[in-house]
Chains A and B, each alone.
Chain A
Amino acid sequence: MNSNKVLFISTILLVNFWCDAQLAIAQQSDYPSKPVRIIVPFPPGSSDTAARVVGQKLSSNLGQPFVVENRPGAGSVIGTDFVAKSPANGYTLLFQTCALAGNPCIYERLPYDTIKDFDPIGLVSYSPMVFVAHPSFPANSLKELIELAKAQPGKFNYANNGSGSISHLSFELFKAMAGVRITGVQYKGAGPSVIAVMSGEVQMMIGPVGATISYLKSGRLKAIALASNRRSSVLPDLPTMSDSGIPGFDAVCWYGLLAPRGTPPAIVKRLNEEIVSIMKMPDVHQQITGLGLDPTSSTPNEFGEHIKKEIEMYSRTVRDAGIARLPLK
C-alpha cells in the first residue's frame, strides 16, 4: 500500500470515530432521543398503574414516550432479569416493588444479582399494608386475634399473594413473633387473595391498603391493625401492629424505578430529578393516593441503601420464620 492510501484510510477512520464520539456525547446530552421502555414485571392491573401515571408524566416532561411494558412471570423474576441483561443506555428501565428485595431471600438462586446488576434511580411511593379479616371473624383487635389463634392452633387460614411476596413473608414473621399457627393459602396476586378473604374462604390476610380499602369502607372486610408503622391517611384511627402487641413489626411495600448497572450517571441523575418533581405535583399526588399509595421520593443512593436494608430484613424473616426456599433453575 502506498502512503497516500494509508493517509486516506486513516483519515476516514479518524473522522468516523470522531463522529461516533460526537454521537455518543450527543445521545447522552440529548437523552431521551427515542422512546424509553419501563418494564413492569407484573401483570397489567396491579402495580403497573402507578408506573403508568409516572410514565405519562415523564413522557410529557422529557418529550419522548415512556412506554410501560408488562413482562410478568416467576414472581417478577423474568421481567427483572430482562432489564438486568438490557443495554445500560437509559432506554430500558425497571419499575419494581418490594418483591425485588423479597426474591433473593425466597429463591435459592436468581439469574441476576439484585445489588450488582442495577443502578437505583429513586423511590416513587410506599404501599402501606393492613391486617384485615372477614367481618364474621370473632376478634376485633390484634390481641384478641392472637389469643383466639393460640387457643385453636391450625384452625384458621390466611391468604397471601404468592411465595415471597410481602403478604406472605410479613404474615410468616407475624406468626413467628406472636407464636401462633395459622395455615397459609397461596393465591396468584392481590386480587384473588382479597376476594378469598371477602368471601370467607380464608379468614385473614395482610394486604395492601390500595387493594382492600374499598372493602374496608363498605364493611365487607374488617381492619384489625395497620401492618405498617406509617400512619395511614385513609385509616387514621387504626392502631399499628407494632403498638398492638408485636413491637417492631413494620411491613410496608414500596415502588421504585431502577436502571441496569452501568447506566450513565448523568441519565440516572436526570431521571431522579424528574421523578422527585413529578411526585410533588398535586395531580400526581392525588392519583397515587387514589391507588392507596403514599407518594414519596428519594435520592438514588437512599433508594439503594433502602433495598439493601430490605433484603437483610427479609432474609432474617425467612430464617426466623423457617420458610422453605424455592428452587429456581
Chain B
Amino acid sequence: MGSLDGLLYGLKLCVEWQNLLAAFAGAFFGTVIGVLPGLGPVAGVALILPITYALEPVTGVIMMAGIFYGAMYGGSTTAILVNMPGETASVVTCIDGYKLTKKGRAGAVLFIVAAGSFIGGTIAVFGVMLFAPQLAQFGILFGPSEFFAMTAGGLLLLTGIEGGSLASGLLPMSIGLMLSTIGQEAVTAQTRFTFGFNDLSQGVALVALAVGLYGIAEIMFAVESLHGQVKPLAVRVRDMMPTREEWRRSLPAFGRGTVVGFFFGLIPGPCATLASFTSYRLEKGVSKYRAEIGEGAVEGVAGPETANNSAATASMVPLLALGIPFAPITALMMSALMVHGVQPGPLLITNNPEIFWGVVASMYIGNVMLMILNIPMIGVWVSLLRIPHYVLLPTILLVAVIGAYSVNNSMLDLYVLFLLGIIGYVLRKFDFHLAPLVVGVVLGPFIEKHLREGLFMSQGDISVFFTSPFAIVVFIGAFIVMTLGAQRALLKKIFGVRSKRSSS
C-alpha cells in the first residue's frame, strides 16, 4: 500500500466516531496530565490501559498516542506561566517562557507554543508516514559507542545550554552528575550512596528534582520579593496574540526544532527531554537573536516545544515499524497491542495495516485537535496569573507536592522536592544556571551505562569508542561547537586585522 493510499485508508478509519473520540480524549487527557507536574504521560497511559482492553486495538493506540503528545504540549503551560515544568521535557521552556510571562507576553507565548507543537507534530507525521520502514532501522544501528559519543558529547555541549561563564554551567552540571550516581548502578546492580535508604535505590526522582529546582525555588523567590511586587496590569486581548515580529523569529526555530526532535524520537532513550534540551542549545548557538536567549527570547520557547512534540510523534516509528519500544510509554502501548493479540513487529504494517495507518492518520487529526482545544484555553490560563499571590503560591505548592508524590507514592520524593528547591534557590542567588543540573542528572546514567557496556563488550579495549565513524563525527562536531566562540574570535582577529589594514 503506497503512502497516499495508506493515509487515505487511515483517515477513513480515523473519522469513525470512536476513533475521533479517542483522539480527542487522549489529547485532552494528555494536556491535563502535562499541565499537572509529576503525573507524566507514562502514568496517564498506564491509567487508561484497562479501558483500552475493551476497545479496538486501533482506538486504544490512538488514545495513548494522543496522551503522549498532549502531555508534551500541556507540560509547557505551567512552565511558562509559573516557572514550574509539567514534566522534564518542559524544563528548558521555563527559562525563556517565564521571562516572557514577566514581560507580559504570556498569552503570545502560549499561542506560539501551540503553533510550534502543531507544526512539529504534523511535519513529523509526514516523516513517519513516508519513511517509517526505512527510518526504523536507524535506531538499532546505535550501539554503546555511538550512544556514549552522543551522551558524553551532548553533556559537553549542553554545559553551555544557558550561556554565561563556564563555571555557571559546569558546577551545577557536576552536581547533577553526582546526584545521578545515587541508586542502583546500571551494570552490576550494586547500590551507591543510598545510605541505607532502600527508596533511594531507584535514584533521585527526576520529576521531583525538576519541579523542586524550578517550581519550589521560584515560589521561594516570589515570597521573598512579594513586598516589591508591582500589581499586574490588566491583560489586553492584543497582548494575547503574538506580534508579527515574534512569528517571524519563531519560524526558523520551528524548523530547527522539528528536525532535532524527529532525530531524537527515532533513537532509544528519553527522546522528548533530550530533544528539547538539544533544541534549546541549538538555538543558543545558531539563532540570530542568541544573545537574548535566556532573557526572554521567543526562539528559546518555540524551538524546544516544537522539538518535543516532534520527538513524541517520531518515537512511534520504532514501535509501529519494528515493534521495538524505545521509551517506557511506547512499551506500554506495545503491551496493550499484545493483549489484543496483535503482534507488534516488522510485520505490523503488512498484517495489521489498519493499526499503522490508523495511528498515523490519527496523529494528524490529534495535532489539529490539540490546537483547537488549547487556543481558546490560552485566555483562561493567562487569567490565572491575575489570581492574588496569597492564593496562587500555596496552590502551586500544593499541586507540586501532590504531583511529586504521585510519581512513586514515595515520601522520599517530597524530601527531594524541597531539598532541590533549596539548592535551586541558592544556585540562583549566586547566578548559577539550573538547566545544566537537570542535564547532568538525565545524561549521567546513560553515559556511564554505555561506557561500561562498550568496555564490557570490547573486553576493556577503549579504542572501540573512537573507531566507530558515527562516534568520530559526533566528537568532532562537539569540539567544533564548543570552540565556536574561540573560533569566531580567531577569525575576527585574522579578518578584522586585515580589514583594518586595508581601510587605513
Contacts and interface: CB of A to CB of B under 8 A. Distances in A.
B198 A185 contact: no
A198 B141 CA distance: 10
A313 interface: no
Contacts of B328: 43-45
Nearest to A327: B190
Interface string B190-224: 11001010110110000000000000000000000
Interface in A101-155: 111, 154
Interface string B159-199: 00000000000000000000000001011111100101011
Given A77-B198, A329-B191, A201 B457 contact: yes
A214 B268 contact: no
Interface in B302-350: 323-325, 328-329, 331-332, 334-336, 338-347
Interface residues of A, number: 54
A292 B338 contact: yes
Contacts of A328: 191, 198
B53 A111 contact: no
Interface in B280-313: none
A56 B53 contact: yes
Nearest to A168: B189
B6 to A, nearest CB: 20
Nearest to A287: B339
B261 to A, nearest CB: 22
B457 A56 contact: no
Contact of A217 (B340, B343, B459): B343
A110 to B, nearest CB: 10
A262 B268 CA distance: 44
Nearest to B343: A214
Contacts of B395: none
Interface string B15-50: 000000000000000000000000000110110011
A136 B101 CA distance: 57
B35 to A, nearest CB: 21
Q: Is the interface of A mostly helix, strand, loop or mixed?
A: mixed
Contact of B345 (A44, A215, A286): A215
B199 A78 contact: yes
Given A53-B53, A218-B345, A220-B346, A73 B324 contact: no
B189 A45 contact: no
A246 interface: no
Interface stretch (A156-164, A172-180, A274-282, A294-302): A156-164
A93 interface: no
Interface string A44-55: 111011001101
Nearest to A194: B324
A199 interface: yes
A214 B46 contact: no
Given A185-B457, A218-B345, A163 B188 contact: yes
B202 A218 contact: no
Interface string A266-280: 000000000000000
B323 A52 contact: no
B347 A217 contact: yes
B186 A44 contact: no
Interface string A308-329: 0000000000000000001111
A292 B199 CA distance: 32
A49 B198 contact: no
Interface in B456-476: 456-457, 459
B347 A218 contact: yes
A74 B457 contact: no
B46 A74 contact: no
A240 to B, nearest CB: 23
A213 interface: yes
Contacts of A186: 186-189
A245 interface: no
B50 A55 contact: yes
Nearest to A186: B187
Given A202-B457, A214-B345, A217-B343, A287 B189 contact: no
B194 A329 contact: yes
A32 interface: no
A188 interface: yes
Contacts of A52: 49-50, 53
A54 to B, nearest CB: 11
B499 interface: no
Nearest to B345: A214
Given A70-B46, A201-B457, A210 B338 contact: yes
B197 to A, nearest CB: 9
A195 B140 CA distance: 8
A238 interface: no
A163 B189 contact: yes
A49 B341 CA distance: 13
A291 B202 contact: no
B408 A71 contact: yes
Nearest to A163: B189
A191 interface: yes
Nearest to A184: B456
Contacts of B345: 214-215, 217-218, 220
Interface in A31-63: 43-46, 48-49, 52-53, 55-56
28 contacts: A44-B42, A44-B43, A45-B325, A45-B334, A45-B335, A56-B53, A69-B409, A70-B46, A73-B184, A73-B202, A74-B201, A78-B201, A185-B457, A186-B187, A186-B188, A188-B186, A195-B140, A202-B457, A214-B344, A215-B323, A218-B346, A287-B53, A287-B341, A290-B338, A290-B340, A291-B335, A291-B338, A329-B194
Interface of B: 42-43, 45-46, 49-50, 53, 140-141, 143-144, 184, 186-191, 194, 196, 198-199, 201-202, 268, 323-325, 328-329, 331-332, 334-336, 338-347, 408-409, 453, 456-457, 459
Given A44-B328, A45-B334, 15 more contacts: A44-B42, A44-B46, A69-B409, A73-B198, A74-B201, A111-B198, A198-B324, A199-B140, A213-B343, A214-B343, A214-B345, A217-B347, A218-B345, A290-B340, A290-B342
Query: Nearest 7 pairs between A and B by C-beta?
Result: A45-B331, A214-B345, A163-B189, A49-B335, A74-B201, A73-B202, A45-B332
Interface of A: 43-46, 48-49, 52-53, 55-56, 68-75, 77-78, 81, 111, 154, 157, 162-164, 183, 185-186, 188, 191-192, 195, 198-199, 201-202, 210, 213-215, 217-218, 220, 286-287, 290-292, 326-329
